Amino acid sequence: MFSKACEYAIRATIFIASESENGRRASLKDISREIDSPEAFTAKTLQKLSRSGIVISTKGAHGGFQIRKEEMDSIKISQIVIAIDGDKVYTRCSLGLHNCSEEHPCPFHSRFKPVRNELKEIVENTSLKDLTSGLISGETFLKI
């Protein structure tokens, strides 16, 4: 449902948050290695996340990416989705038809709409802290 860029952005943000929880900044190299993404692609993704205020980028020898601990509970996954993909994941047709609507539904419209609505509810009600806690405890993983 999410674009590949959005998937990487979510994974990168979770990793950065887990490093921030431990008092560390995450380097571009570490992030791209941890989420298994090319550095140049990861850099562009992180630039969008930084511009949207989700991550903080610090330049220099001790630079890197971080997220303020006090903001992790208020950052919702939906903010990451909007920063990377916009709202199309909530509005587009599952078959890619541009004219699919309530008035002119595609054959899959009525089956896909509840799934899309459920996804929206999940990402709007899931905080970065919710996802980071499993990574820190070792219950969840970003790559296998």
Per-residue pLDDT at 144 exceeds 70: no
pLDDT of residue 60: 85
pLDDT of residue 8: 95
Q: State the average pLDDT over residues 84-98.
A: 82
Q: What is the set of domains in the chain, with CATH numbers?
A: 4-137 (1.10.10.10)
| Mean pLDDT for the chain overall | 91
For tokens 């219950």, what's the residue? 139
Alpha helices by DSSP H, listed for the chain, are: 4-21, 28-35, 39-51, 77-85, 88-91, 109-124, 128-137
pTM of the model: 0.90
